[in-house]
């Protein structure tokens, strides 16, 4: 199945300074906006072309990430920050666990899908590396300096910061344009989604999968899952392997044309549209087509690291400190000071539903009796939930 490609240029031309209301959008653009919202609803995915994100930009980014992932493990582990729960720097392969491996409810749902649409069953944690890089302004004041320390930059990569910041912000700009078009398509004000994205956790979190070591057909690099954010964006990968599930449960392998970006719906858009859009399920697996690309890359002496330039935009917490606290009641036993009790299924589910921004609201809130903040911050790791880092805001000293 071919997903439609939406060219963002005509929309960007209109909105750059001139757009002041719905009446300015010509019928063609209105149709494009409706197509954005309809495609997101039906497929959970969308292909876009953004003149600001060129194929050359994507290549420059992937070239740098290939060079990084090709470094020896000992070098990459210097960028590992397990004490910060891998929220910055590198996450080695074998750490991220696909939801389908631990979620019994999801496993039951999967068994009800027709055979040809069932995802592959991963045998363990994902064999892929990831690099977490925050996009956007950092908090000016922090309570915990170590969590907001400067981003981790591997030694010898002089172009790192500029390349990450520039590709990251370009991809987030593309998400913003799609979010505006989707809002218009849903009949909402154009800033209905983007206003919520302000100060949200935006991340560039590329993954690297070693096809030389794990290039066997059927290897699961990212087990069947949905993303927890609002929208995820990917530049075109040099190796195919991504499959998505349409709303009707059909599994489809995605082909991203050169110069295009792929957008996927996350859990936050599902909540925000009250289920009109649902979080898109997807997996990354070594397929027949991946094998063909591996063959060509080997012949051309190119890197056999599959880089996926994942970017994600999320919302800050929409609930109050108190309601966020109530939601995490199932985790009470696991966040007590010095508690040896690992979080149970109910707690991990509550944590996923709560979302990273609201966990950060709790962590930044007033002291809670019986709750150890650092235990609370370890919940995502213990529950295998890949949340982005919290902005830990310093409390004003009032005298």
Which positions touch Fe ion (CB under 5 A)?
A: 227
Instruction: Pick the closer one to Fe ion by CB: 103 or 227.
Output: 227
Beta-strand pair 220-225/207-210? unpaired
Q: Would you say 391 and 348 are in contact if contact means Cβ atoms under 8 Å apart?
A: no
| Closest among 351, 314, 319, 355 to 332, alpha carbons compared | 351
Cβ proximity to Fe ion, 303 vs 312, nearer residue: 312
Nearer to Fe ion, 76 or 130 (CB): 130
Question: CB of 272: closest distance to Fe ion in angstroms?
Answer: 18
- For the bound state, the minimum distance from the C-beta of residue 13 to Fe ion, rounded and expressed in Å, comes to 31
DSSP state of 129: E
Nearer to Fe ion, 93 or 227 (CB): 227
Q: What DSSP state is assigned to residue 307?
A: E
Closest alpha carbon to 197 in 230, 160, 152, 163 = 230
Q: How far is the CB of 326 from Fe ion (least distance, A)?
A: 29
Determine the Cα–Cα distance for residues 395 and 365; give it in Å rounded to an integer: 9
To Fe ion, the closest distance from the beta carbon of 325 in angstroms equals 29
Using the minimum distance from each CB to Fe ion, give the nearer residue, 92 or 266: 266
Q: What is the C-alpha separation between 399 and 382, in angstroms, rounded?
A: 39
β pairing state of 242-245 and 282-285: antiparallel
Shorter beta-carbon distance to Fe ion: residue 178 or 363: 178
Phi, psi of 97 (to 5 degrees): -110, 125
> With respect to Fe ion, which residue has the nearer C-beta, 50 or 227?
227
Check: CB of residue 178 under 8 Å from CB of residue 36: yes
Shortest Å, Cβ 116 to Fe ion? 22
Cβ at position 323, least distance to Fe ion in Å:
27
- Neighbour tally for 20: CB within 10 Å: 8
Q: 108, 69, 50, 42: which is closest to 250 by C-alpha?
A: 42
Pairwise CA distance, residues 262 & 271, whole Å: 21
Nearest to Fe ion of 130, 373 (CB atom): 130
Q: How far is the CB of 295 from Fe ion (least distance, A)?
A: 26
Q: What is the rounded CA–CA span in Å between residue 79 and residue 30?
A: 46
Closest separation in Å from C-beta 282 to Fe ion = 6
Residue 90 bridge partners (DSSP): 80, 131
Q: Are 45 and 39 in contact (CB under 8 A)?
A: yes
């Amino acid at each position: 199945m071919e997903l439609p490609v939406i060219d963002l240029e005509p929309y960007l031309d209109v909105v750059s300074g001139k757009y002041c209301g719905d009446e300015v959008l010509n019928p063609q653009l209105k149709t494009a906006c409706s197509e954005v919202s309809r495609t997101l609803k039906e497929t959970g995915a969308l292909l876009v072309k953004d003149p600001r994100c060129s194929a050359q930009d994507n290549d420059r980014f992937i070239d740098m990430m290939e060079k990084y992932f090709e470094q020896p493990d000992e070098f990459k582990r210097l960028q590992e920050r397990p004490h910060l729960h891998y929220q910055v720097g590198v996450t080695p392969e074998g750490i991220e666990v696909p939801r389908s491996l631990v979620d019994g409810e999801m496993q039951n749902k999967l068994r009800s899908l027709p055979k040809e649409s069932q995802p592959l069953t991963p045998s363990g944690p994902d064999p892929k590396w990831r690099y977490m890089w925050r996009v956007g302004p950092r908090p000016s004041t922090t309570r915990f300096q170590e969590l907001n320390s400067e981003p981790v930059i591997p030694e010898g990569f002089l172009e790192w910061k500029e390349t990450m910041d520039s590709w990251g912000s370009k991809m987030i700009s593309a998400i913003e344009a799609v979010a505006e078009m989707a809002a218009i398509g849903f009949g909402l004000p154009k800033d209905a989604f983007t206003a919520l994205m302000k100060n949200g956790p935006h991340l560039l979190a590329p993954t690297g999968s070693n096809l030389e070591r794990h290039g066997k057909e059927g290897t699961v690099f990212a087990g069947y899952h949905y993303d927890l954010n609002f929208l995820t964006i990917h530049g075109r990968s040099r190796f195919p392997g991504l499959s998505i599930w349409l709303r009707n449960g059909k599994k489809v392998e995605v082909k991203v044309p050169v110069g295009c970006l792929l957008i996927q719906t996350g859990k936050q858009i599902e909540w925000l549209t009250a289920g009109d859009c649902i979080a898109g399920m997807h997996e990354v697996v070594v397929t027949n087509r991946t094998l063909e690309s591996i063959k060509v890359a080997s012949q051309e002496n190119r890197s056999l690291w599959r880089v996926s330039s994942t970017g994600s935009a999320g919302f800050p917490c929409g609930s109050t400190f108190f309601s966020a606290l109530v939601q995490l009641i199932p985790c009470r036993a696991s966040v007590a000071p010095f508690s040896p009790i690992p979080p149970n299924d109910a707690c991990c589910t509550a944590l996923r539903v709560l979302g990273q921004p609201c966990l950060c609201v709790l962590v930044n809130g007033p002291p809670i009796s019986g709750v150890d903040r650092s235990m609370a911050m370890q919940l995502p790791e213990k529950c295998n939930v890949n949340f982005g880092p919290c902005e830990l805001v310093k409390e004003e000293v009032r005298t």
